[in-house]
Structure 1
């Protein structure tokens, strides 16, 4: 009896201890969830403007845009005359390319069938080919403010403005230059070639009529940039929704939008371009196409937040092109939030705290992807010239 009596009085005490313990545990979990709360308001997002802003020294006109289009598709700009800007930025792929990292110089074929010719001593392009579509809006804030002269470019922000960006691929070994010319001499060579083509002489003269010798590198960059500023996709269903059409998104897409905001994606993917245009270290695995690890411009593995617009057409994703689907990207962020680092060269202290605070769960992924698909707009200009003034193959060696 004494034994049973002892148990009788002990059980309530044990239950009380368990309840207190469970309560403390619940409080701890609640506190953790509160600490990890990262939800943003829809006010951090926005629709793209209906029109673009030109730099003061490069106002657009139809003749300049057409000249830029021809130059964009003409392999005369490359060292070996085999690569054009359009080789790696194709209309069918949202002016990007369906490869982990691109094959520029000494390549042949298009899309997944593109490969190096043999023999070959040219490396793959260092990073995934970013879309040129909507780069006219790079740097735009949620209040519609941006300066086209200072627009951030490339994965590492090493250039500002489309004019500066336009000439860098021409000077880059694996993209367009090749071994035949140095970085210091390639532009002079390209300009000399263009001057020897009567049609280009005429077109440059018409576009830049106030100049005695209009064929030079600055005007080359201005023409290409003027064309690239026409490549916009600003009529997505998300744009319509943000402009006031509440029926532009379905209920499930609106749920996906709320998940996007709640999980913390909008901490970096904000504004009309859904990018803060800042560098973040996420520990993304390196491309397998290059032997060396890509540590970025500051050697801390930080890369620019990409835009989320038209993702349907721009796979694979991230600077290294390592993720083939949006589901894989979101699973990566779930792992990052859980403390996993997929790049062995990145330390925990380097990881961006914003990524650590994200709250992406597997159950949310399909909803977020459904929302991301509302950012697609296929109505952009896909016009490809039937010929280029040099007489070379349009888009270079892609057939």
Structure 2
């Protein structure tokens, strides 16, 4: 049965309740949905994205945690940044420079971030477009935020390079880490400036920056915002995703049939998924408490002893936002596991079932994760081993919907139609080498 017919038939037969019967299918994605990209800028960004030169110890690239082999994520529940070796599920702690803790949240996918409607990024939305600010962006840097970023996709790169656990390295290991530790981020000698000088000192990069940016050709130094803007252009071009079977169905080219059509009817009908996963990119860009399991070190400052992640509340300070996280886009979702803001599930069907059930799903959670061994750090299950904390997470979400195995299978079949293999592989691919000469994650 075709997707439109499945929905029409379901409504006619009363299989979709009145509150859900008018849930519209999204419109097809078009070129107008995306920012324009300069191919030369994207080509420069490709090299920078895969080059470890941006990390404090020159051993981690953006691609380490966002690789096309793992659908622009890393295949781990919670990643290992500084102090790790290897790629994807094979990544492990080194013996000589062990990570101080896991990355607190699952590495997000990078699909369609060049679309105009993506004005909020990260699980907690701590970076948002804000035209009232000089920089046009609201970030934790507040009024110290510099201008020059082309948008939030560019500005989001500033976080990993400043994080000791992700790319900067720990406090005394290198010049970037020392600058971060002393609070020197912007200005001459700051962390961003030190990274920029590293890049500009490589002749091949200096030549490309002059070719791409007129202000650099006119004698201005390469700025961190230039590096970020190039990476943003690459991500926007490389991982635009709008050629999946779902897209073909929306464009009237090849309708969905069988279990996938049944799953679409559920998704836009009685299962209620489209209440949050709406629009052409299947996200409302809002924040919801869904009783997602919490594991790992939590989102806490080094001086804080807890292991919980309060989600959006850490940004807004509002109690109502505790345990709420941003609705992710579902493009290529079948390939981006483990799933959940903490990578709590290594099976998509189990995640869909628990996610829909909310509090009941949390209570029955089976702790199926992909976590490299990391001893001598915060234990992973502090929150879920505490009945009071589990109860608080469940209470914030409220009751959900229990779906039987048949409905779960149909929903997963529909989610499979969001897979766009061409977008996952990327348009430019992984470069064989980068100007720094450092190893490339292949």
TM-score, with normalisation over the residues of structure 2? Answer: 0.73
Unmatched segments (≥5 aa) in structure 2: 1-13, 129-151, 299-305, 315-321, 366-383
Instruction: Specify the alignment match of 1:379 in structure 2.
Output: 422
CA contact (8 A) 2:101 2:165 kept: yes
Out of 180, 183, 194, the residue aligned to residue 189 of structure 1 is 194
1:369 aligns with 2:374: no
Deviation (angstroms), 1:363: 3.2
1:60 aligns to 2:51 (yes or no):
no
Q: Paired residue for 1:314, among 329, 333, 336?
A: 336
* Residue 394 in structure 1 maps to residue 406 in structure 2: no
1:175 aligns with 2:166: yes
Pairing 1:50-199 to 2, within 5 Å after superposition: 50=31, 52-54=33-35, 60-119=37-96, 120-137=98-115, 146-147=116-117, 151-160=119-128, 161-179=152-170, 180=173, 181=177, 182-183=179-180, 184=185, 185-199=190-204
Counterpart of 2:205?
200
The superposition leaves residues 104-129 of structure 1 with CA deviations (integer Å, 9 ceiling, x where unpaired) of 11111112110011242431111101
> Residues 263 and 359 of structure 1 are in contact (CA less than 8 Å); yes or no, is this contact kept in structure 2?
no
Distance, in Å, in 1 between the alignment partners of 2:393 and 2:76 is 30
1:198 deviates by 0.8
2:309 paired residue among 291, 294, 297:
294
Report the CA distance between 1:52 and its aligned residue. Answer: 4.9
Q: Which runs of 5+ in 1 are unaligned?
A: 1-32, 138-145
Tell me by how many angstroms 1:100 deviates: 0.5
Contact 1:285 1:320 in 2 (8 A): yes
Q: What RMSD, in angstroms, separates the aligned Cα atoms of the two structures?
A: 2.6
Aligned residue for 2:24, secondary structure, equals helix
How far residue 156 of structure 1 moved from its aligned partner, in angstroms, is 0.8
Query: Structure 1 residues 289 and 210, CA, compared in 2 at 3 Å: closer, same or farther?
Result: closer
Task: Give the aligned length.
Answer: 347
Task: Tell me how far apart the structure 1 counterparts of residues 287 and 297 of structure 2 sit (CA, whole Å).
Answer: 23
Q: Which entry has the higher C-alpha Rg, 1 or 2?
A: 1
1:238 is matched with which residue: 246, 251, 272? 246
Alignment partners' CA distance in 1, 2:400 and 2:19 = 7
| SS at 1:292 equivalent | coil
On the 8 A contact 1:204/1:214 being kept in 2, the answer is no
Distance 1:348 1:125 in 2: 21
Q: Is the 8 A contact 1:197 1:390 kept in 2?
A: yes
The question of whether the paired residues in 2 share the 8 Å contact of 1:45 and 1:271 is answered with yes
Per-residue CA deviations over 1:186-224 (Å, capped at 9, x if unaligned) read 212111111211111111111002342141011111101
Q: Distance in 1 between matches of 2:33 and 2:203?
A: 32
> Are the aligned partners of 2:75 and 2:337 in contact in 1 as well (CA < 8 Å)?
yes
User: Residues of 1 paired with 2:435 and 2:94: CA distance?
Assistant: 26
Q: Distance in 1 between matches of 2:32 and 2:74?
A: 26
Question: What is the rounded CA distance, in whole Å, between the counterparts of 2:84 and 2:334 in structure 1?
Answer: 25
Match of 1:24 in 2: none
Question: Separation in 1 of the partners of 2:247 and 2:23?
Answer: 13
Offset of 1:337 from its aligned partner?
Answer: 6.5
- Aligned twin of 2:6: none
Q: Aligned in 2, Cα 1:309/1:66: closer, same or farther, shift over 3 Å?
A: same
For residue 248 of structure 1, what is the aligned residue in structure 2? 255
